[in-house]
Chains A and B, each alone.
Chain A
Amino acid sequence: MSKVQIVNTSALGPMISRVQTDAVLSICAQLKSIAAPLIPILHAVQEQIGFVPKEAVPLIARELNLSIAEVHGVVSFYHYFRQDPGGRHIVHLCRAEACQAVGAPALEAHAKRSLGVDFHGTTRDGAIRLEPVYCLGNCALGPSIMIDHELHGRVSAQRFDELIKDTRADAAGKR
C-alpha cells in the first residue's frame, strides 16, 4: 500500500485518499463509454487499489449515472470484489470437490493454522490475505491455490509454507 495523504472528501465519505479518488475517476473516464461498464470498472479499481473502497461506490455511481444501491448491489454480489483493504498478496485456496478428493480440507486447515487467520482474514504483518475459491481449473493436479494471479498445483502443507515464505519475501515490493 502506497503511503498517501488522507484527505476528507466530505460528501464522498471520510477516508478515501486523493490518489485513490483520482484513480477511480480516471478509470471511470476511461471506461464509461463502453457497453455495460460497471463490472469492468470495478475490476480496474480493484486491480489498481487492491480492493473496492466503500467510498468509491458513490463516486462510481455518480460517474455512471446509477444509484448507489445499484453499484453496491453489484459489488456485494460477486465474491471476487473485496471492500476492505488488507493483504498485499491474496491467496485463493480451492475448496471444490476435485481438490477435496486429494486433501484440500487438510490443506485448508493447515493454511488457516499456519497463517493464523480464517477465510477473508489477513495475516498480522499485512502480507497475506486468505480467500476460498471454488475451482481454479487445475482439477487433475490438486490441491490447488492461486497466489495473486499465479496458479500452483499439487500443493502439500510443506509446499504451501515454502510458497508463503517466498511470497512474504517479495511482499515489500508490491502494492
Chain B
Amino acid sequence: MTTRIHVPRDAAARSLGADATARAILAEGQRRGLDIEVVRNGSRGLLWLEPLVEVTTPAGRIAYGPVTPQDVPGLFDAGFITGAKHALSHGPTQEIPYFKNQERLTFARVGITDPRSLEDYIAHGGYRGLKNALDMEPAAIVAAVTTSGLRGRGGAAFPAGIKWKTVLGASADQKYIVCNADEGDSGTFSDRMVMEGDPFVLIEGMTIAGVAVGATRGYIYLRWEYPDANAALKAAIAAASEKHYLGENILGTGKRFDLEVRSGAGAYVCGEETSLLESLESKRGMVRFKPPLPAIQGLFGKPTVINNVITLASVPIILDQGADHYQHFGMGRSRGTLPIQLAGNIKHGGLVEKAFGVTLRELLYDYGGGSLSGRPIRTVQVGGPLGAYLPESQFDVKLDYEAFTEIKGMLGHGGIVVFDDTVDMAAQARYAMEFCAIESCGKCTPCRIGSTRGMEVIDRLIAGNNPAKQEKLLRDLCDTMTFGSLCALGGLTAYPVLSAINHFPEDFVTSARTRVPA
C-alpha cells in the first residue's frame, strides 16, 4: 500500500527548505524501493517546526520536524514511514497541544488537505456552504452572515452582513465582489496561509457573496509579495471553473460568477479599501473620500462588497454549519474566531485560531513559549504597523475588538509582533513615522507632511534638544494626524508612537539612552 507523506508547500515552510526536504524524501523512498507518495499540503501553522513532515499511518498523521534533507536517511532508518519514534517525532499532529487547543473554523482544512485538489476540498466539507446558499433567497444569505456576527477581519471590524445588505439593496447593472488580499501588516500571514493552504475556501466565500448580493464578477487584489498564493489561487480558480463552481452557470443554477486575481505593486496604503479600488482600476493608489461608500459606488463606480481574505473565507462555514454555530464562539460583540499570528521574537511562532476572549498572556507564553531569544518579553505590537505597543502590564487583556479599543490599542488583522528587552522604543516610534512617510499616498497633508515632521521631532526629542517642548509638539502633531487624516494610515500612526512614549518614556530620555537609534 502506498504510504502518504505530507510536506508543506506553504511559503514559510519553503523558506526553510521544504522543497529540498520533499525531494530528498521522494529520492530516498525510491532508492529503498518503497511505495510512497508525497503530498504538498498547506502548513499546519506550527511554523517553528517547519518543514513539518507528516506520515499517514493507521493511527493518524504522525508529525516530524523540522526535517532537513540531511535528516531524511535517518528517518527512513528509524522506520518513520510506519510512524516510528525518532528524535524529530512529535507524535500525532492532532495531539500536539499547540494544535489541539485551537478552535479551527476558518482554518479547518489548512494543512490537512491538498490545496491543489478540488476533490480533496469537497471530501473535507468544501462547497456545502455554497450549495446551501444556492437554495436560499439572497436576503436570507445576507441575514445568516449578519446573525453570525462576522466582522471584517482586515482590521476595521465592520459587520460584514451590513456591508452586504447595502450592496444587495443597491440596484445596478453590474456589482462586484472584491477580496482585499493586500495583507501588508507586519506580523500577519493568515491571509497568505489560507490562500496557499486552502484557496478553494476563499473562492467559495466570494462565490457565496456574489450569489447573495447579485454580483457576477469578483477580483482578488493580491500583493506581489505573495507569488505562491498567486499560483495557488490561479490553479484553484481553473479547477473550480472546470467543474462549474465558477463561471456562467454555477452548478446548473444559471447563476454566474467569474473570478480573477490582480497583483498589487508594493503599496501598503492599497490595503485601505478605497485606495485598493483605485489600484484595481489601474490608477495611483490614492485614498478616496467617503461617502460615497464602496457598497454604493465602489469598483468602476458600481456597488461593491470589499472584504478581507479571512472575512470571506469564514463565510462558507457559516453557510454550512449555520450562523448560530459560528456566533456561539467569541465574547461580547466579537463573535466567532480569530486566526491569530504569533510573530517576531517568539519561540513558537505560527498561526493560532481561537475564539475571541483568549488573553495575550496565554498566547505569548502557553502557545508562544516566550521569546525566541530567551530574554524577557518587553512589549508586543498588536494589529500591524499602526497598532499600539503594549507593555507587560496589559498582557491580560482579552482579544476582543472593544477591549482593545479601551486600552487605546487595535486588534486589527490579529498579528502579534513580539519584542524582547533589547528593543529601543524610541527607534520603534521613529520607524512608525518613517513607515507612514514612505507609504503615504500623499492625498492629505497631515499624513504626507506630518509623518516626516514626526521623524524630525522624535530625532530632536531623543537628542535632548529641549525635550519637554519636543514632546508637546509630538503629541500635538499626533493629534493633528489622528483627527485630520483621510484614512487609517495617517489616522492611526499615532497609536504606535504615543503608546511607545506613554508606556516606555525612559527610552526617550537622552541621558538614559545607551544606544544610538538605527
Contact = CB atoms under 8 A, between A and B. Distances in A.
10 nearest A-B pairs in the assembled complex, by CB-CB distance: A140-B349, A96-B186, A139-B343, A78-B265, A80-B266, A101-B344, A153-B15, A38-B282, A79-B266, A36-B282
A152 B184 CA distance: 18
B263 A39 contact: yes
B337 to A, nearest CB: 19
Interface string A14-27: 00000000000000
A136 B345 CA distance: 16
Given A43-B265, A141-B47, A136 B282 contact: no
A3 B344 CA distance: 44
A113 interface: no
A139 B14 contact: no
A101 B227 contact: no
Interface stretch (B54-62, B201-209, B415-423): B415-423
Interface string B1-31: 0000000000110111000000000000000
Interface centre among B224, B279, B284, B420 (most CB of A within 10 A): B224
B499 to A, nearest CB: 13
A2 B225 CA distance: 26
Interface in A95-110: 96-102, 105
Interface string B165-199: 00000000000000000011111110110000000
A151 interface: yes
A80 B439 CA distance: 12
Interface residues of A, number: 42
A17 B346 CA distance: 50
A140 B48 contact: yes
B343 A98 contact: yes
13 contacts: A35-B300, A70-B283, A97-B186, A97-B344, A97-B381, A101-B417, A134-B268, A135-B184, A135-B185, A135-B225, A140-B48, A141-B12, A151-B11
A74 B344 contact: no
Interface string A142-159: 101010010111100000
B343 A140 contact: yes
A39 B282 contact: yes
A133 interface: yes
Interface in B261-277: 262-268
Contacts of B281: 36
B184 A134 contact: yes
Given A139-B349, A144-B15, A77 B428 contact: no
A139 B340 CA distance: 12
B437 interface: no
Interface string B223-238: 0111110000000000
A69 to B, nearest CB: 11
B113 interface: no
A152 B423 CA distance: 24
B49 to A, nearest CB: 11
A81 B263 CA distance: 12
A139 B265 contact: no
Contacts of A97: 186-187, 344, 381, 385, 417, 428, 431
A152 B397 CA distance: 34
Contacts of A81: 265
A94 B350 CA distance: 18
Given A98-B187, A102-B372, A135-B185, 7 more contacts: A39-B263, A96-B435, A97-B428, A98-B417, A100-B428, A137-B11, A140-B350
B518 interface: yes
B50 interface: yes
Interface string B354-378: 0000000000000000001000000
B375 to A, nearest CB: 11
A13 interface: no
Interface in B298-348: 300, 341-346
A138 B344 contact: no
B478 interface: no
B11 to A, nearest CB: 5
Interface in B378-427: 381, 385, 415, 417-420, 423
B280 interface: yes
Given A80-B265, A97-B428, A102-B344, A141 B349 contact: yes
Nearest to A151: B15
B129 interface: no
Contact of A153 (B12, B266, B283): B12
